[in-house]
Amino acid sequence: SGASGLRIVDISDPLAPVLLASDIENTTGTRDIEVFVHPDNGRVYAVMAHGGSRMTLVDVTDPRFPAIASIVTDIGPAHNIAVVPGTAIVYNSQSLPTGNPTQQPGSVGHIDVVDFTDPVKPTAEKVRFPTFILDPTGVPIPIATVACHDFAFAPERGLGACGALTQALIWDITEPLQPAIVQVIQIDGNSLFHSQWFAQNGDLLILGDEFDGVLVRAPCWR
């Protein structure tokens, strides 16, 4: 994807890759592609962040003849996206920095949840962050971030996680259309929570610290 739009390459023989499709209409400027099998119709789709505030779904069941299924326009900035495993639901992280002008004073952060159950007529809803959650002892933990940067999932545990720049958030995704924040992680000296990965069947979360980001404080040493 990118300036030239979506390209599909057959790498069955990694030493002799074959370009199957390129110059696909309405895909110029797309980024962060994910591919999934639709749980209802069994077709294969590529979904991608597209330009400023769009998400594009392409039917790639026959990779030689990809076809646009739909373009979602009623979402926020589309920087990184993630398909909830086993579903046709896609989260748009937005990746808004703290203090982004799109956030009104006193407003809370949010992500977009796009439902491609009907690939031709998807729906999009904002899931807004609460201003705080309570720890097990009832002490409030403030949620200071305004968006996620990227997502990871541990479907076997019904969990999702996002590096959310100033914080990292753990989500309950057992109801993927209504994810809920269940824990907030903050680490002194962290520069910018950027990416994350689950390991050990969801028992371990690895967080990436993007040093030299917009909140530079210390070298990446964790």
Q: What is the pLDDT of residue 193?
A: 82
Residue 30 pLDDT greater than 70, yes or no: yes
Residue 148 pLDDT greater than 60, yes or no: yes
Residues 39 and 36: their CA atoms lie apart, in Å, by: 9
Answer with the residue of higher pLDDT: 96 or 74: 74
Q: What is the pLDDT of residue 43?
A: 98
Closest-CA residue to 69 (of 97, 41, 96): 41
Structure tokens at 95: 């990746």
The whole-chain average pLDDT of the chain stands at: 87
Mean pLDDT of 159-173: 91
Residue 217 pLDDT greater than 60, yes or no: no
Residue 52 pLDDT greater than 90, yes or no: no
b or e along 79-98 (b: 16 or more beta carbons within 10 Å of the residue's beta carbon)?
bbbbbbeebbbbbbbbbbbb
Give the model's confidence band at 207: pLDDT under 50 very low, under 70 low, under 90 confident, else very high. Answer: confident
Contacts of 7 (CB under 8 A, 6+ apart): 1, 19, 21, 22, 24
Q: What is the pLDDT of residue 99?
A: 52
Q: What is the pLDDT of residue 68?
A: 95
Residue 82 pLDDT greater than 70, yes or no: yes
Residues 90 and 45: their CA atoms lie apart, in Å, by: 12
Residue type present at position 188: D
Q: What is the pLDDT of residue 144?
A: 85
Mean pLDDT of 29-51: 93
Structure tokens at 87: 């579903």
Q: What is the pLDDT of residue 107?
A: 61
Residue 150 pLDDT greater than 50, yes or no: yes
Closest-CA residue to 47 (of 103, 110, 112, 100): 112
Residue 100 pLDDT greater than 70, yes or no: no
Answer with the residue of higher pLDDT: 37 or 5: 37
Mean pLDDT of 66-92: 94
